[in-house]
A and B are shown apart, each in its own frame.
Chain A
Amino acid sequence: MFDPNTKVLVVDDFKTMRKIVIGALGTCGLKNIMEADDGIVAWPLIEAAVKEGKPFGLIVSDWNMPQLSGLELLKKVRGSETTRSTPFVLVTAEAEQKNILEAVQSGVNNYVVKPFTPATFKLKIEQVYAKLKK
């Protein structure tokens, strides 16, 4: 599993879902967590973390956000030399096949469909870690 000190960024426009995701990450042993309420807020945080030499080791982002969506944020992350290998998990309430396909093509590591239980979320995070270690 991820090192407990792994720096994690949780991006969601709803405080409720950020709290739920943070709680679920806690069950994975992850406690070093920062929050952002939109993709547009998250991107400068990701860039700043790289400059400080303490990049995020995992990003968990909602899909639908008003200013910069999770998919757009993913594309930015994958498009930058310094962040392109950062593990990225998308959380979505819709999970339409075409959306998932686009996310996979854009390089998402895993996705979680809302509603989810903490156990399902933990499993998805474990899958990401397992794939990284292969």
Chain B
Amino acid sequence: MKNKKLLVFSDDAPTLARLQESLNPVHDKTTYASQINDAIFKAQNSQFDAILMRTQKPTLKDHQGFFSWCQSQKNYRRIPFIVVGEDIEDKNILVTQDQIRFLPTGWKTAQLFDILDGIFFEGSDAAKNMVSAKFVNPIVGAVVDVIGTMSQIQLERGPPSVLDKDSAKTRGDVTGMISVNSENFSGSLAIVFKQKLILSIYKNMMSEEKTLIDDDVKDCVMEITNIVFGNARRDLNLIGHSIKPARPTVISGTDHEVTHSSQGFCLHLPFKAVQGEMIVELLVTMLPKKS
């Protein structure tokens, strides 16, 4: 999704503001237009991979409308359209437009991201594993906030990547692991520390120096994992997920390999501080949809 270009057109200011609020933190390749002339101008001057428009049924039918303009353009005729509006239940008028997805009135951010993921990752393993921007910000925010508040250690976020866990190995000295399950997906979150960093975090949190990863340090890793998960879960549930409560476990051993409960692609988030490094990984697999 990251490199795909999206044009958002809404002549309704509150809808445009809400779409900007949802998309800005996770997608910097989005262009916004609040008037049809502006939308056409922007579409003519750049090639977009998808268009999201807020409209109502009459506007879709209207031959002067933006949708009709796009249909008249060779380079926009077949690109994915997301239509958000109040009166879109009667899909007969659009029955031939199989590239259209509908975002119902009262949409939640998670629904918007699901549609965008479906468009931009369609058919890819990444889509099946839901490794997408919607998970990145709540997790990164929770990690930075929890470590920063409790140990006054400022983490610098590295570039996120998607790893194939069948081949790529992640290693650390102590790892907090917790299940991430909802009705739609199941997986695990791993918070992987190098010894130097976790001993610095422990010292600052507990005002007590340790030279080795012992039971106290492991308990500290479990509590950090617990709080990161709790904070990220709160934020993810606010955008429409229903992630279930879970309890962390801990794995330790110098340079151990991090193993998730399932295989596949996972979101890999590196962090760096003056005191050392850590990695956060999220591996989730979509569950079959209930009929």
Chain A interface residues toward B at CB < 8 A: 14-17, 19-20, 23, 64, 66, 92-96, 114-117
Other A-B pairs beyond A96-B234, A114-B230, 10, CB < 8 Å: A15-B216, A16-B206, A16-B222, A20-B206, A64-B226, A64-B230, A66-B247, A93-B226, A94-B233, A115-B227
- The reply to whether A14 and B149 contact each other, CB–CB distance below 8 Å, is no
B207 contact set on A, CB distance < 8 A: 23
- The reply to whether B206 and A95 contact each other, CB–CB distance below 8 Å, is no
- The reply to whether B222 and A14 contact each other, CB–CB distance below 8 Å, is yes
Supply 20 A–B pairs (Cβ within 8 Å), ascending by A. Answer: A14-B223, A14-B226, A15-B219, A16-B205, A16-B216, A16-B223, A17-B223, A20-B205, A64-B226, A64-B230, A64-B247, A93-B227, A93-B229, A94-B230, A94-B234, A95-B234, A96-B234, A114-B227, A115-B145, A116-B149
Chain B nearest CB, measured from A27 CB (Å): 12
A92 contact set on B, CB distance < 8 A: 230
Asked if A93 meets B247 with Cβ closer than 8 Å, knowing A16-B223, A23-B207, A116-B149, the reply is no
Asked if A16 meets B219 with Cβ closer than 8 Å, knowing A114-B227, A115-B150, A115-B227, the reply is yes
B79 at interface, CB cutoff 8 A: no
Chain B interface residues toward A at CB < 8 A: 145-146, 149-150, 205-207, 216, 219-220, 222-223, 226-227, 229-231, 233-234, 237, 245, 247
- The reply to whether B234 and A115 contact each other, CB–CB distance below 8 Å, is no
In whole angstroms, what is the CA distance A14 to B237 when docked? 24
Closest residue of chain B to A120 (Cβ to Cβ) is: B149
- The reply to whether A94 and B206 contact each other, CB–CB distance below 8 Å, is no
Asked if A93 meets B230 with Cβ closer than 8 Å, knowing A15-B216, A16-B220, the reply is yes
A94 contact set on B, CB distance < 8 A: 230-231, 233-234
